[in-house]
Amino acid sequence: MFNVRTDLAMEVRELYKERTKQEVEGVSVDVEEMGNVNITRVDIMNDYGAQVMGKAKGKYITLECKALRRADADLKDEVSQTLAKELKKLVVIKENPKILIVGLGNWNITPDALGPKVVSKVFVTRHLFKMYNKEGDKDLAEVSAISPGVMGTTGLETSEIIRGIVEKSKPDMVIAVDALASRKMERVNTTIQISTSGISPGSGVGNKRMALDKESLGIPVVAIGVPTVVDAATLTSDTIEMVINEFSNEAIVGSQFYNMLGELKEQEKYNLIREILEPYGANLVVTPKEVDEVIVNMAQIIANGINIAVHPSIDLKDVNRYLN
Amino acid sequence: MFNVRTDLAMEVRELYKERTKQEVEGVSVDVEEMGNVNITRVDIMNDYGAQVMGKAKGKYITLECKALRRADADLKDEVSQTLAKELKKLVVIKENPKILIVGLGNWNITPDALGPKVVSKVFVTRHLFKMYNKEGDKDLAEVSAISPGVMGTTGLETSEIIRGIVEKSKPDMVIAVDALASRKMERVNTTIQISTSGISPGSGVGNKRMALDKESLGIPVVAIGVPTVVDAATLTSDTIEMVINEFSNEAIVGSQFYNMLGELKEQEKYNLIREILEPYGANLVVTPKEVDEVIVNMAQIIANGINIAVHPSIDLKDVNRYLN
Amino acid sequence: MFNVRTDLAMEVRELYKERTKQEVEGVSVDVEEMGNVNITRVDIMNDYGAQVMGKAKGKYITLECKALRRADADLKDEVSQTLAKELKKLVVIKENPKILIVGLGNWNITPDALGPKVVSKVFVTRHLFKMYNKEGDKDLAEVSAISPGVMGTTGLETSEIIRGIVEKSKPDMVIAVDALASRKMERVNTTIQISTSGISPGSGVGNKRMALDKESLGIPVVAIGVPTVVDAATLTSDTIEMVINEFSNEAIVGSQFYNMLGELKEQEKYNLIREILEPYGANLVVTPKEVDEVIVNMAQIIANGINIAVHPSIDLKDVNRYLN
Amino acid sequence: MFNVRTDLAMEVRELYKERTKQEVEGVSVDVEEMGNVNITRVDIMNDYGAQVMGKAKGKYITLECKALRRADADLKDEVSQTLAKELKKLVVIKENPKILIVGLGNWNITPDALGPKVVSKVFVTRHLFKMYNKEGDKDLAEVSAISPGVMGTTGLETSEIIRGIVEKSKPDMVIAVDALASRKMERVNTTIQISTSGISPGSGVGNKRMALDKESLGIPVVAIGVPTVVDAATLTSDTIEMVINEFSNEAIVGSQFYNMLGELKEQEKYNLIREILEPYGANLVVTPKEVDEVIVNMAQIIANGINIAVHPSIDLKDVNRYLN
């Protein structure tokens, strides 16, 4: 229950490497440094890799920009453009694409509201295509967008809602945006993960039937996620590990002390975490105080990236000057 | 374009009667006074009535409570209970009903946000039925709820979204809540219309294909609406009419003056209205200043009414004490 | 009670001229056309002018930009810069100015929330001056800002709050921002009035003791206002006038008809307006539906103008790129 | 920098007792169990106690209600009434009291918005007393209320603002409401501290001049605070302590291992915490996900308690039925 929780493929791989000192078989990793933004490409190529990683097969591209937290407008623009460039490689740019953008998450819970906020900032055009009975346009893609809410407030599985809408409105692909959990504070609000393998709303629950992916929707799904919190249980668990490591480094290998350190049982760790986080358990998150403001900024960066990527004739100047 | 706009069947009938001094054929009208609440039941019984009224066949029940604007909690409760009682007559209470509640309107425009606010206050249970694999419950109905947004922000027709969700989640009926326009300020935020004939989101546009009704969804649709604005064009048009009437009452029938009054051409009236409302045209509304607060109150009254009506074991005490 | 209500000096003068066909004695008027923005300078120079205008002596500068409602970012910037230029002429730019910005109005009522929204977007520095014990800075002014709320929610007169703060924090001048009422829809959200004569919060009530001005605060007060509504009573009253004018133009001068038109008594007009607006009376406003979005845009334009005007080294590029 | 941070006097005393196994001299502690609510009364009676506790002399009364997090309306009412009862003992109920209620904190940061939210729900009457020129009333107290914002957004010290308002509006006492930090998650949103010793806005900064207390304002100040977060640094620090204690319990006293545990230097602990929380440092908080909803509930409980305590004729029925 209180394991390290992360939604980032690059962190799952990082954890695996920390523990085993090797890469996962069937998973390729590539790191590219591009000025202010580092890109890590994790490709889960086969079922074995998927099983070890606990993640579906597919590409996971992570953009990291440490300076993003205190970014000026120029740096934000650079990140939007990098995002747009990576998205363009994944978005099937056939002639006249029809794209449905889905904002996952609960708009009443600030760190979970990223998806709905992005949806409120993307440039939606589908109704105009319908009004003028147009099949395509050389400047604009046909874009629709929806924030379906979360199961606790709708009573509906998100995948039911989206499947219904896909059947009725027939887009060529879905771009789904969600807030994620990272393992490390340094990645919170500085990291964007793009993936081709779909997304599981409320994925902690782990009901495979409910994924939004090519299998369930019949069309490609590109997921964009930003870690906006660290689970308090993950932070606590990591803290315990680090204290133990600290002692281990100082202890003589083979001493009684050294051995004891290795023996702090999972159950004892679990009890410690439980005691510290009572009575909230898994429902606690660690966030920067000014999370409301941060989420607005990230939503703008991502909406800009999507707007540039999907519409043939929209560029950075347009999103900054006309679409805000 | 600048005709009197009203979404209330009782006002359409009132207008007809003002002009023709008679009732519409094929439309029955019944008025009941119940303490603080007056109930007007308009039943459009045949196609002729529907055509004259410009509204679909079906029952339109209007609750009016003049004092509601400054209501204390007891009066609000009385209105919730009257609403619940009327709803219960219309809601097919078969064993274990499955109900989808739809909040129409744009949650970013205060006087249009009634539907989404009601949705945020209704008691949603469907996911619990699914989680425990239950088919029915003697205390609770299976309720889901969604606010699909408006076409201008989603690019999707509301009826496409709802039809998709109905096909996937298979409710027995839909209750749709929307903000309406009235013709008269005195009815704004004091009046609730319930109707069995469905609803047309953004109905001014008048695209019949887009209605949410039994024909389009395959299940009964009960619509609940509250007028939250008067169109500024309607107010202006009515003002012109009243000035003319005022003069007419004083003029000698048959005099040049009297005749001129009757001859203020539609085009001249239209030009006057246009000049006054330029450059906003039909996009202006008249609202009380404190509209934000009023909408919250009305949403609570309606959500309470729905909660009491659909769940077999929920009563007024519960909604006030546990569900707020 | 139901007279034409306007907070714009240029409209008061316009009304006077419509009725008397001449200018007010003691009031000078100057109009300048500057590309997209028209500037009207009304200077109330003596007590007689003040009495006729019903406004305090002083300069009233009105910026009008008809296109502002559908403005792109370039036009918004132009308006911000024009505002900044006019403000700079009025703001006492002594060495190291200390400025208190006051956002008047109720942040819970959308069309009244302009002032608080501007305050949330101005660049505040006073605490930094205090922290580093600095008396002045060549790049930045010492700026503080507060939204005191309205008397109905605080129980305090705004002037009491501001006088207290002025005595404790000792600014050199106050810039007060407020939402106004215009007489004409075409000026709503397209017009900015700057004035040197202070401002009366909730001025309809008309308690002279409560003004924020040089007399009450002991330091210069520049007021910035934007009409965000037309009073429904004003709209209705103007509509009645226009109908009468319409008939008058067609009637033969001296005929019975013509004379009757002139005789619609004030009391009859008043009764008509009352009947139409019952039961809300003076508390109704006419706004564009999308008022929430419009207010955000105007607040940004004004905050940018203030930021450029008061801080010596901040220019347009900075406000767009770093201060949003 | 990364010490345990708590704003609760009962936790300071608890920490002292954990470390020293004794009570602080000059501090009396009394615990009372009252059904669902436990009350701890800490009285810091002399300067020595104040110095050891790091808190001003005065009474600190803490209400704890473990069940509050999932409370039904009856339990919330019980807490409001207990709060009212304790407040009444501290509020100087002279004839016709004049009370200023101050909501501290930043309304844009959810867990810090408790004070402003309480202010928006208290029953304000001062303007009515002024309007009717009344000196007193047997049913109602003369209440005003303000949320002054925080220094980072106003540039003004909160104490400057409040001192100015107190001088102008001359209340007999101040009730100040603020969000606090607790040391333990179990106290978050389940605990209310009332104190007679005033409050220091942004107290972490520790500028004594800025306190709101009898010394600075010249009138009694009662502070009401609710812990809404645990500092992430406190959580991490406590976790490290608990791991060390865990090992200590298992190690043989006097062994090399046992001694090492005691020697994890403060600097090493500090480095660990820093590494875990980088790059946010002291600016991270741990909150339950649904913090937005929780704050609304707590604000209602406290506003109800204040309304009952200060107005002679308002009781629980009134606050639930008429004042919400």
**Is the CA virtual torsion D83, D86, D90, D91 positive or negative?**
positive
Contact D163 C160 (CB under 8 A): no
Residue A143 pairs in a beta bridge with A99
**What pTM did the predictor assign?**
0.92
Per-residue pLDDT tens digits for C251-281? 777 777 777 777 776 777 888 888 888 877 6
D282 pLDDT higher than 80: no
Q: Does C126 touch chain D (CB under 8 A)?
A: yes
Whether the CB of C156 is below 8 Å from some CB of chain D: the reply is yes
Q: Is C50 helix (H, G, I), strand (E, B) or coil?
A: helix
D227: left (phi over 0), alpha (psi -120 to 50) or beta: beta
Asked if residue D220 has pLDDT above 80, the reply is yes
> How many angstroms separate the CA atoms of B160 and A167, rounded?
9
**Res A313 pLDDT > 80:** yes
pLDDT of C92 reads 64
What pLDDT shows up at residue D98? 95
Contacts of D265 by beta carbon, 8 Å cutoff, 6+ apart:
none
d(CA D316, CA D306): 11
ipTM: 0.90
Q: How confident is the model at residue A2 (pLDDT cuts 50, 70, 90)?
A: low
Which distant-in-sequence residues (6+ apart) come within 8 Å of B19 by Cβ? none
What is chain D's mean pLDDT, rounded? 88
Residue C294 and residue B46: Cα distance in Å, rounded? 45
- Pick A322's closest partner by Cβ from C72, C320, C321: C72
- Amino acid A202: pLDDT: 58
Taking the C-alpha atoms of residue B310 and residue B318, their distance in angstroms, rounded to an integer, is: 13
Contact status, residue D247 vs residue D230, Cβ threshold 8 Å: no
Q: What percent of chain D has pLDDT over 90?
A: 61
Q: Can you tell me the mean pLDDT for A14-20?
A: 89
Specify the pLDDT at position C259.
75
Interchain proximity D149–C147, CB inside 8 Å: yes
Q: Regarding the domain with residue range A65-70+89-233+285-322, which homologous superfamily does it belong to in the CATH classification?
A: HybD-like (3.40.50.1450)
Q: How confident is the model at residue A271 (pLDDT cuts 50, 70, 90)?
A: confident
On whether any CB of chain C is under 8 Å from the CB of B69, the answer is yes
Within an 8 Å CB–CB cutoff, is residue C207 touching chain D? no
| Sign, CA torsion C275/C281/C287/C293 | negative
Among chain D residues, the shortest Cα distance to A260 is held by D247
Q: Is A217 helix (H, G, I), strand (E, B) or coil?
A: helix
Evaluate if residue A208 carries a pLDDT over 60.
no
Q: Where are the alpha helices (DSSP H) in chain C?
A: 9-20, 47-53, 73-90, 114-119, 126-131, 151-154, 158-169, 214-217, 232-250, 256-262, 266-277, 291-310, 316-321
The pLDDT of residue A205 is above 50? no
Alpha carbons C215 and C197: distance in angstroms, whole number: 10
CB contact under 8 A, A167 and B167: yes
Q: Which of A233-237, B59-63, C240-244 has the lowest mean pLDDT?
A: C240-244
In D11-88, DSSP assigns E strands to 27-34, 37-44, 58-64
CA-to-CA dists, residue B92 to A49, B185, B313, C226, angstroms: 52, 34, 16, 52
What does each of the 324 residues of chain B score in pLDDT, given as a tens digit?
356 789 999 999 998 998 899 999 999 999 999 889 999 999 999 999 999 999 999 999 999 998 888 777 889 999 999 999 999 988 766 788 999 999 999 988 889 999 999 999 999 999 999 999 998 898 999 999 999 999 999 999 999 999 999 999 999 999 999 999 999 999 999 999 999 998 877 554 334 457 899 999 999 999 999 999 999 989 888 888 888 887 777 777 777 777 777 777 677 788 888 888 887 766 899 999 888 888 999 999 999 999 999 998 888 877 776 665
**Residues of D (136-155) whose Cβ lies below 8 Å from C:** 142-149, 151-155
Chain D, 73 to 112: residues with Cβ < 8 Å from chain B are 73-74
Instruction: Give per-residue pLDDT as tens, C162-195.
Output: 999 999 999 999 999 999 999 999 999 999 999 9
Per-residue model confidence as pLDDT tens digits over A56-77: 999 999 999 988 887 778 899 9
CB spacing of B160 vs A155 below 8 angstroms: no
Residue B322 has which token pair? 């546990």
Contacts of C321 in chain A (CB under 8 A): 72-74
Residues A284-300: what's their mean pLDDT?
90
Q: How far apart are the first and last CA of chain C?
A: 41
Is D317 in CB contact (< 8 Å) with chain B? no
State both tokens at C107: 């942040």
A26 phi-psi bin (left φ>0, alpha ψ -120 to 50, beta other): left
Domain ranges of chain D: 65-70+89-233+285-322
Contact between chains at A146 and B156 (C-beta distance less than 8 A): yes
- Nearest CB among A72, A321, A324 relative to C321 is that of A72
Please answer yes or no on whether B72 and D320 come within 8 Å at the CB atom. no
% of residues, chain C, pLDDT over 90: 61
pLDDT band at D202 (very low <50, low <70, confident <90, very high): low
- Taking the CA of residue C188 and the nearest CA in chain B, the distance in Å comes to 10
Q: Which residue of D has its CA nearest to A255?
A: D257
